[in-house]
Amino acid sequence: ILKVAELIDIVFWPCAMDFKTSDVKNMQNKEITVCFINGAIRTDEQEEMAKLLRKKAQLIVSFGSCSQLGGIPGLANFWDRESIFASSYGGKCPSVDNPDGVVPQELSEVPEGELTLPKFHNTVKATDQVIDVDYYLPGCSPAPYLTMRAIKTILSGDLPPKGTVLAPNKALCEVCSRNETKPEKLSLNKINRVSLVEVDPEKCFLAQGIICMGPVTRSGCNGENDGRCIAANMPCRGCYGPPSEVHDVGAKMIAALASIVGLEGEEEMSETHVQKLLDQIVDPAGLFYRFSLAKSYFRRKIMTDSKEEK
């Protein structure tokens, strides 16, 4: 952060400094050279701020998994506002003491006056589903070296094509040192949970029956080395999003798994056998779409026509 501060003037950073929305509104249009926006968009306040920053900034960089893909908050798209409030405030959450089942209101009358809260939308969105985005810096969190490289690239004026993801375009598997231990013909006959088995620190996770998102995830989280999770003896979670040739992370990973459980090969399994194998995957939606549901082909669970889908 200190090295970044030596290169630029920070004019808006609400999580670290006391900036107000009014400060941004008072800026001239395009006064900000570049704005890094992190976080998914869920409320009308967040949407308003994103649109305001788009107006005031010359360049917008979608910073991190949540901004680029919707991130883990995007998994809430399997529910709507009503069901989320019911779960959080309706007595289903043991850590919430709310016997009257009071839910957040956009407007509340109190003796001192009116209290307002942002509108909570049904759908979590990535930044480019709300405003035009120039570049993407992936990761949860983005690697510091990639952040510094992005800033220096922008300051140089030698900009890449609009829409570029500012990270290597290779799948993590391509740079993983464990790739050498993966059998040429990988076959999966059991799926293990990483917390329930002793993991070989040198062997390919998939060869150990542990689902790793490396085949469909962009590299770069740990330089040219193994991914940060791999280096910690944990399978890739997929936070860097897909390489350019992959359009839906979950669908691509499911297709990859289908090929190694024998659905697309000489050693075919019966449908019953395959189903028993796939049933070993706990929370498949949360696993395959952990960071990318909001930008997937599914995007969200379909709601009834009576519900607003914003």
Euclidean distance between CA atoms 14 and 211, whole angstroms: 38
Element (H, E) at 34: strand 32-37
Give how far Cα 80 sits from Cα of 20, 255, 283, Å. 30, 28, 19
Q: What is the DSSP string of 267-281?
A: S---HHHHHHHHTTS
Query: Whose CA is closest to 265, among 185, 208, 204?
Result: 185
Q: Give the list of residues 6+ apart from residue 202 with CB closer than 8 angstroms, or none.
A: 178, 181
Return the domain boundaries, the chain.
Answer: 1-93+101-167, 172-279
The CATH number corresponding to 1-93+101-167 among 1.10.760.10, 3.30.70.3270, 3.40.50.700, 3.30.70.20 equals 3.40.50.700
Query: Whose CA is closest to 252, among 288, 300, 305, 304?
Result: 288
Omega cis (within 30) before 141: yes
Please check the confidence at residue 84 and state whether its pLDDT lies above 90: yes
Q: Quick one: pLDDT band at residue 184, thresholds 50, 70, 90?
A: confident
Residue, of 305 and 270, whose pLDDT is higher: 270
Instruction: Calculate mean pLDDT across residues 84-94.
Output: 88
| pLDDT confidence of residue 279 | 83
Euclidean distance between CA atoms 47 and 80, whole angstroms: 18
Q: Which amino acid is at 33?
A: T
Please check the confidence at residue 61 and state whether its pLDDT lies above 60: yes
Whole-prediction pTM? 0.89
Q: Give the list of residues 6+ apart from residue 191 with CB closer than 8 angstroms, or none.
A: 209, 210, 211, 277, 278, 280, 281
| Residue-wise burial string across 233-242, b where 16 or more C-beta atoms lie within 10 A, e elsewhere | ebbbbbbbbb
Please check the confidence at residue 277 and state whether its pLDDT lies above 70: yes
Please check the confidence at residue 264 and state whether its pLDDT lies above 80: no
